[in-house]
Amino acid sequence: MLAGIRAQQEQAKHEHVREVPRAVREASHCLGNTPAVCPASYTDPRVFEPFEQGRTVRPALTRLATRARALRSTLYA
């Protein structure tokens, strides 16, 4: 069982490693720069530390979506 948990942790770690370069490529594309310019010019390395620890903005986005649905239902009821 412990081996399975460790395998899942390793898999998650590898997924995070692939996501950081993807995020840099997407941000650079949106801003009209190359991926090499992105980290050097406008990406603070501290942005990636929480992500690498498994923390993302997903919980905040979920809360905002729930509030938006509630507000819409109140306004258009």
In terms of Cα–Cα distance, which of 21, 51, 18, 57 is closest to 38?
21
Residue 37 half-sphere exposure, CB side, CA atoms within 13 Å?
Answer: 9
Instruction: Count how many residues are written for the chain.
Output: 77
Q: Please, are residues 35 and 28 in contact by the beta-carbon 8 Å criterion?
A: yes
The per-residue pLDDT for 12 is 62
Q: What is the pLDDT of residues 27-64, one digit of tens each?
A: 888 888 888 887 777 777 787 888 878 888 888 889 99
The per-residue pLDDT for 5 is 58
pTM above 0.75, yes or no: no
- d(C-alpha 63, C-alpha 61), whole Å: 5
When the pLDDT of each residue in the chain is averaged and rounded to a whole number, the result is 79
State what percent of residues in the chain have pLDDT above 90.
Answer: 12
